[in-house]
Amino acid sequence: SQKIEQNSEALNIQEGKTATLTCNYTNYSPAYLQWYRQDPGRGPVFLLLIRENEKEKRKERLKVTFDTTLKQSLFHITASQPADSATYLCALDYSGTASKLTFGTGTRLQVTL
Amino acid sequence: EAQVTQNPRYLITVTGKKLTVTCSQNMNHEYMSWYRQDPGLGLRQIYYSMNVEVTDKGDVPEGYKVSRKEKRNFPLILESPSPNQTSLYFCASSLSGQNYGYTFGSGTRLTVV
């Protein structure tokens, strides 16, 4: 079965720096990969989606890369702010129809002043 | 406001007492899903629906039922709840196709004693 690995240890960075979070997966590549933000006690919020044939996607301070050779996606937040502190989840869509998503356990990001 | 509404937010019940968690979306989305979130296990899909009267099992469907009689509603039914169903539950919806992420509800924290 597919396994998704996100660093379970919290990532602590200083305000203004770039945060980079990693999502690794096993076996075959998904058709799509999505990133979500989750605050404590709240539902995940969709951030970005990247397709198998795309290498990079950007949205404001966010950037996602997708390397099917390494079986890895990187999620970058540039000029990070304390308000970016949250848990970030990657989700893989193997169905190609977005009907079934498999989520990683997430990485907690803490941005300090 | 576009949203997914779950009720109740919190529920404490006893083993074996049937319960229903409601989920409604006002975005005319075709896809809807139920997830449970447990510490260390992340979000796991229980059931999903791609349209009215079209539902299918996710990764952890045992002990749950769903129905999709109307496009906007997707209730989760626990016929005979057990303590191992104590969890945080999320409903989510998405426009069909391959370009959209999911909109999640605020969650239902269920405790079965």
With a cut of 80, say whether residue A97 has pLDDT above it.
no
pLDDT digits (tens, 9 = 90+) for A21-80: 999 998 777 878 999 999 999 999 999 999 888 989 999 999 999 998 999 999 999 999
User: B99 and A41 in contact by Cβ < 8 A?
Assistant: no
Residue in chain A closest to B49 (alpha carbons) equals: A99
Q: Does residue B8 have a cis peptide bond before it, meaning omega lies within 30 degrees of 0? A: yes
Q: How far is A26 from chain B (nearest CA, A)?
A: 17
Rounded CA-CA distance A45/B20 in Å is 24
With a cut of 70, say whether residue A1 has pLDDT above it.
no
The pLDDT score that the predictor gives to residue A105 is: 94
With a cut of 70, say whether residue B97 has pLDDT above it.
no
Q: Which residues of B touch A105 (CB under 8 A)?
A: 40-42
Single-letter residue type at A87: T
What token pair was written down for A3?
């396994």
User: Which burial class, exposed, middle or buried, applies to B19 when counting CB atoms under 10 A from its CB (0-12, 13-18, 19+)?
Assistant: middle
User: B94 and A98 in contact by Cβ < 8 A?
Assistant: yes
Q: Is B103 on the interface with A (CB under 8 A)?
A: yes
The larger pLDDT score, comparing residue A104 to residue A100, is at: A104
With a cut of 70, say whether residue B98 has pLDDT above it.
no
The pLDDT score that the predictor gives to residue B13 is: 97
Radius of gyration of chain A (CA): 13
Rounded CA-CA distance B51/B96 in Å is 9
Residue B90 and residue B105 in contact, taking contact as beta carbons nearer than 8 Å = yes
DSSP β-ladder status, B87-94 and B108-112: antiparallel
Residue A65 and residue A73 in contact, taking contact as beta carbons nearer than 8 Å = yes
User: B101 and A89 in contact by Cβ < 8 A?
Assistant: no
The pLDDT score that the predictor gives to residue A12 is: 96
Q: Is B5 on the interface with A (CB under 8 A)?
A: no
The larger pLDDT score, comparing residue B70 to residue A9, is at: B70
The larger pLDDT score, comparing residue A20 to residue A26, is at: A20
What token pair was written down for B38?
């447990």
